[in-house]
Amino acid sequence: MKLELGKIFIKDLQFGGETRVDGSTLIVCKEDVEKLVMEDERFLKVSVEIAKPGESTRITPVKDVIEPRVKVSGNGGIFPGVISKVDEVGQGRTHALVGANVVTVGRIVGFQEGVIDMSGPAAAYCPFSKTFNLCVVVEPREGLETHAYEEAARLAGLKVATYLGKAGREVEPDEVAVYETKPLLEQVALYPELPRIGYVHMLQSQGLLHDTYYYGVDAKKFIPTFMYPQEIMDGAIVSGNCVAPCDKVTTFHHLNNPVIEDLFKRHGKDLNFIGVILTNENVFLADKERCSDMTAKLAEFMGLDGVIITEEGYGNPDTDLMMNCRKITRHGVKVALITDEFPGKDGKSQSLADSVPEADLLLSCGQGNAMLHFPAMDRVIGMLDYIESQIGGSAGCIAEDGSFDAELQIIIASTIANGYNHLAAKGY
Amino acid sequence: MSKRIVHYINQFFGGIGGEEKADVRPEMREGVVGPGASLAQALGEDYEIVATIICGDNYFGENIDEAVAEIMEMVKKYEPDVFVAGPAFNAGRYGVACGTIAKAVAEQLEIPVLTGMYEENPGADMFRKDMLVVATPNSAAGMRKVVPVFTTLIKKLANGEEILGPAEEGYLERGIRVNYFAEERASTRAIEQLLRKVKGEEYHTDYPMPVFDRVDPCGAVTDVSKIKIAIVTSGGIVPQGNPDHIESSSATRYGIYDITGMDTMSPEDFMTVHGGYDRQFVLQDPNLVIPLDVLREMEKEGRIGELANYFVTTTGTGTSTGNAKAFGEEFSKKLLADGVDAVILTST
Amino acid sequence: MLRKRENILIITNNERVAERFGEGFQVELLAEYGEVLLRTRDALQTEYRLLTHPMSGSLKPNQTPFKTIILERVEKRGALDMNSIELIERAMAAYHKFYECREIPAWSERSREDFRTVDLSLMEPAIERL
């Protein structure tokens, strides 16, 4: 499978009469976006706002962040099984509006959505403080059932991103990256002297607000499977979850998975990147045993020398992480884990909810219990009504001017456990 | 005005004497004594060791509550900016004493504290989470090497300056997880380290997993009526008067005591020194911890083969796993030599 | 593996779970999150093993007021399932650790209803397969 990813670098975002890319500026027709969102009768109203890096702007409660992409050539369309029809993706050419994002905002379930600050101390912890964000603030009709509202908000963001992505179809990209993975036997034969490395990607899959979709299928309903890394770049995986904001693997992060990106950087140089094993994080202990058995079996079957495993969320998934680590190690494959830490108020408690002795190589994405001051911002996109009950906030934490003290957990993707950020923790 | 320091040392470093003087009570002297001299010299004019407290290691270990209370009164009087204990190097009882008193000073008087130990000192594992413990060589010969480490940290503590990581400052890691921005993101670092692991090279984890020293259980006893059983306890049961000075907490010793010919644990003969539970009922009836009365009956009825003619005892509360493991390894040899087939472990 | 319904025990403080599954299953409805963990631990010490992870939902224990755990009776009374006991002990340790950080906020009834829905949705797919 071979994908050319054309990157169009966006350095400004403006409203205008027609949605298009002008040089490095993305111009968006606000009315078109509003109309698109309101096609879904489940919404009462929508407002569309722009947030730029460096502004005194706070966005909250944030549900998802999505990078606009478009399929220029090759099979299928972006977000197959969700927005486009079910069809294999990952071949041909795709364009991405790099530096621009769609941010869905609104009360979904009042507590699981996070904060993005466009400037100030919290901006250092959030990748979306540095991007040009088109914020889609939605409000559901009264009495809309929670599952239905979650779905409506999820689809609204994906629809808007797909719509914006189309503006990049005819644009000559600033940069084209080529990603190629051959069928297993050929790929192994291509670099026979290099270590064969795989990626075990654990998807959040526990229930409402804890689901992820692969070609539109709820991840808790599949058994571990092989995926070409290129598929994820065309939106084969979309996020439907709102775990702790800091832990959230947004749809942006699926499109721009850092492990896949970095493995490709060294592919053919000092490693042979064979492919991705997708697995899930279920509630049932028997499912955990079964899926980790299968993950280990696949790793062995693919002839891997080493794998990197990433997880999404704390607690329940830590057990999957450790089971995967133990079983894959016992199948003779070396393992590196990436995760974030929650060592409690004084930073002295155990960082993870589970552990096995085989987990002797773990890379930290920082600890989410550390406290941070969030100064007041001139502008709020969304609402501050839920700060106290959002994860990381606490009763009485917010002052009248809108400033507050909270744990890093409240910032979207601040300690994201797939290794996207530079934040890390060490022992003092 | 110069910053004030109170220094705690044991009878040996205080020049009072060795093991034979280990039971001296705390005493206070104005100014510098023993190792304090080199600290004072390195600290310079802006810092003053105003007093030195000297206490025997055994006295401290066997009378923790009293010793802490007495020493606390002495420290209070001098209103120090920093409290320094030791360094204890590899001296176990001294290390435990330094940690215990420094922890009490930090908690009760809210004064910054500092101590120093060799990493394998049992006190190191007990207290490294609670305070800065300077990593020292294993003997006092290394004092010169650690003086600059102590003086830097004393100055920082006295002035409320930021303490950097264990590698930069030279203390034993406390296990506090602190955020920082790494040069490379975690995915990049993971690939780098994984390749090292695959190649069999040395690799570095950001988070060492907690290691639990688990012991695989022996196979089940098939016939209890044919075996010899001994009792081992961490409940602090000792003969009246505690002849071997087993500490009431953070034990550095254990005892083996004879029960030949006894049918019950008489409160006239035995007591408990354990500092971690309400001792009242056990002082009245030590059989609650060493169930000799019941076991003798079972022995007579033939339900157990034989009871060993002694029990093994120590105090569990606060005792480092390192010490506990060493005790077990040592007395197991005796148990085996005496033909003991199984032990009953009682804890409190 | 076939499971007998009468061997299943659902321990919860979520009324919606009790309403939904009270008919077909043995359900113990308790008041507090902490009580659910404690009762589960006690059950595991005698005659049950865990079917679901005690930290299901990835919400830390101070981030949701509701918790449901599903257990199954072991064939032989007293045959402890050490894996279950380890998981519940870790969950209890995490519960105390995060409570030390901050207690549960006074959520509005609307938020509490959301939490009930989420907890129920975590358990529904599991219970329906029993």
Query: What are the pLDDT digits (tens) for A237-282?
Result: 999 887 789 999 999 999 999 999 999 999 999 999 999 999 999 9
CA angle B31, B33, B39 (to 5 degrees): 85
Closest CB from A266, A364, A418 relative to B206: A364
Residue B129 C-alpha, separation from nearest chain A C-alpha, in angstroms: 8
Report the pLDDT averaged over residues B215-228.
88
Q: Which of A242, A246, A365, A397 is catalytic?
A: A242
Q: How confident is the model over C24-36, as pLDDT tens digits?
A: 899 999 999 999 9
Q: Report d(CA C9, CA C46) in Å as an integer.
A: 13
Q: By the 8 A CB rule, do B338 and B260 touch?
A: no
Could you give the CA distance from residue A419 to residue B194 in angstroms, rounded to a whole number? Answer: 14
Across all residues in chain A, what is the average pLDDT? 94
Stretch 324-343 of chain A: residues touching chain C, C-beta under 8 Å: 342
CA gap A112, A51 in Å, rounded: 21
The answer, yes or no, to whether residue A93 has pLDDT greater than 90, is: yes
**Is some CB atom of chain B closer than 8 A to the CB atom of A350?**
yes
Of A204, A210, A349, the CB nearest to C97: A349
Residues B292-309 have a mean pLDDT of: 95
Q: Mutate which of B184, B194, B212, B214 to test chain A, going by most A C-beta atoms within 10 A? A: B194
Contact A424 B194 (CB under 8 A): no
Closest CA to A161 of A247, A96, A212, A115: A96
The candidate with the shortest Cα–Cα distance to B176, out of C92, A369, C61, is: A369
In angstroms, rounded to a whole number, what is the distance separating the alpha carbons of residues B268 and A213?
A: 73
Whether there are 3 or more C-beta pairs closer than 8 Å between B and C is no
What residues of chain A lie within 8 A of the CB of B189, using their CB?
A: 363, 419, 424
Is residue C35 within a helix (H) or strand (E), and if so which, with residue range? helix C33-46
In Å, how far is A218's CA from the nearest CA of chain B?
26
Say which residues have a Cβ less than 8 Å from residue A188's Cβ, sequence separation at least 6: A196, A272, A274, A303
Top-confidence residue, A110 or C120: C120
B15-60, pLDDT tens digit by residue?
999 889 999 999 999 999 999 999 999 999 999 999 999 999 999 9
Beta strand A334-341 pairing with A306-310: parallel
Mutation site, B127, B171, B178, B179, interface A, largest A CB count within 10 A: B179
Q: Which among A345, A350, A395 has CB closest to C106?
A: A395
pTM of the model: 0.85
Distances (CA, A) of B78 to B28, B75, C71: 11, 6, 60
Q: Which residue ranges form the domains of chain B, and what is each CATH number? A: 3-169 (3.40.50.2000), 224-346 (no CATH)
Torsion (CA) C113, C117, C120, C122 in degrees, nearest 10: -130
pLDDT at A331 over 90: yes
Cβ(C62)–Cβ(C101) under 8 Å? yes
Say whether C115 and A395 touch across the interface (CB within 8 A): no
The tens digit of pLDDT for each residue in C54-100 reads 998 877 888 888 999 999 998 776 678 888 999 999 999 899 888 87
Q: Does the pLDDT value for residue B249 go beyond 80?
A: no
Binary contact (B176, A348; C-beta < 8 A) = yes
Cβ separation A349–C93 shorter than 8 A: yes
In contact, A306 and B191? CB cutoff 8 Å: no
